A and B are shown apart, each in its own frame.
Chain A
Amino acid sequence: QARLVQSGAEVKKPGASVTISCQASGYRFNGYYLHWVRQAPGQGLEWMGLVNPIGGSPIYAQKFQGRVTMTRNTSATTISLEVTSLTFEDSAIYYCAREKSNADDAFEIWGQGTKVTVSA
């Protein structure tokens, strides 16, 4: 059974960086794109970018260009999201999500979410 398991909650100070991991299991890791989505308190879902597990450059939402790095570790079947220069507006729940198939790009499998709190 395909599953994505994320790392635990984080509390960071403004200006710091945070790295969140998402480990995949139960399916062929190289076969599906993985995305990052976040939800700030009281806000909607926001797409951040995607990672191709096979390789190539990640694709980032323009809003996060230069402040976000998405990486993959194929041997560990894990992707990671680093967000630098944190501000209070980065407090959110961050999700990783896997596409359904090569022919259907919907986000079928989701991680449980990682809460990041930015607090002085």
Chain B
Amino acid sequence: AVQMTQSPPSLSASVGDTITITCRASQGIGSEVGWYQHQPGRAPRLLVSAASTLQSGVPSRFSGSGSGTDFTLTISSLQPDDLGTYYCLQDYNYPRTFGQGTRVDIK
């Protein structure tokens, strides 16, 4: 199974900051990665698919990049509504595997 190693496990940043979350795959997976936001009491929300395709309705401060084994989610100008846990998910093969998650707190 493809292992997705996500870092950091948590971070705390101020409103307006730019933050970066990374996922490293244990093997090359092309661009087959999505990024999800999960807030307490809500279902996960797809932010970015195919490594860099921003989903409709997702603010442009979110962006994804990478291919092969290294992937990045960047949130520029962090907003209070961005708190939650962020996950990468590889959809290259089965079993699908999530990263361990990054908890984002607002200072």
B98: chain A residues at CB < 8 Å are 44-47
Q: How many pairs of A and B residues are in contact by the CB < 8 Å rule?
A: 58
User: A-contacting residues of B (Cβ < 8 Å)?
Assistant: 32, 34, 36, 38, 43-46, 49-50, 53, 55, 85, 87, 89, 91, 94-101
A14: chain B residues at CB < 8 Å are none
B38: chain A residues at CB < 8 Å are 39, 45
Secondary structure call for the A interface: strand
Min CB distance B94 to A, Å, is 5
B94: chain A residues at CB < 8 Å are 50, 59
**Contact: B46 with A108, CB < 8 Å?**
yes
B43: chain A residues at CB < 8 Å are 95, 110-113
Q: List 18 A-B contacts (CB under 8 A).
A: A35-B96, A37-B44, A44-B100, A44-B101, A45-B89, A47-B89, A47-B95, A47-B98, A50-B94, A97-B44, A100-B49, A104-B53, A106-B89, A108-B46, A108-B55, A110-B43, A110-B45, A112-B43
Nearest opposing residue in chain A for B99, CB measure? A44
Other A-B pairs beyond A44-B101, A105-B91, A107-B36, 14, CB < 8 Å: A44-B87, A45-B101, A47-B96, A50-B94, A95-B44, A97-B44, A104-B49, A106-B34, A107-B46, A108-B46, A108-B49, A108-B55, A110-B43, A113-B43
